Amino acid sequence: MMGSGKNRDCAEPGVKTNLASVPGSAGRWLLLATGIIILDRLTKVLASQYLTLHEPQALFPSLNLTLVHNTGAAFSILGQAGGWQRWLFIFLATAVSLGIVVWLLKTPAERPWIACALALILGGAVGNLWDRVVSGYVVDFIDVFYGAWHWPAFNIADAAITVGAVMILYDSLKRDVST
């Protein structure tokens, strides 16, 4: 009810609500992670369908779309290891994702910055995990460069992981300064 003085964000006893609408719950953050996974999958499917492997397509100055199949980790670490790394990365991504879900579920409602960061990392980790399980490699396609120098190609999942990690680092530094 409008104007009843009741907090409209809290469910009344006996009233069913969906998980995403419960204040302070992990539901909305799990929805964000799911959105990252969907956006990552969609962009990777489009990149795989419309780009040719290793052939850059100029988008803007200093930004190409270039399809790359990355069998390694970040920056193609262990990319030439012979195949065993796929299973290592699948195991690590699964363990980290489960750990993040637990952390997310335990994150207090008063810490939405951390919950958002965890959701971004979770969505990115699962997005890249999907690729490794299904294809044996991660589809990368965003190619940022300056002159002849190119940053390693990346994808939406990588960007989400990076933003989430920076958010956690910022929060940690901010908390250290304020204590």
Asked whether the beta carbons of 78 and 87 are under 8 A apart, the reply is: no
Half-sphere exposure of 51 (CA within 13 A, CB side): 24
Q: Give the active site residues.
A: 140, 158
Asked whether the beta carbons of 164 and 124 are under 8 A apart, the reply is: yes
Whole-angstrom Cα distance, residue 175 to residue 179?
Answer: 6
Strand pairing of 63-70 and 138-146? Answer: antiparallel
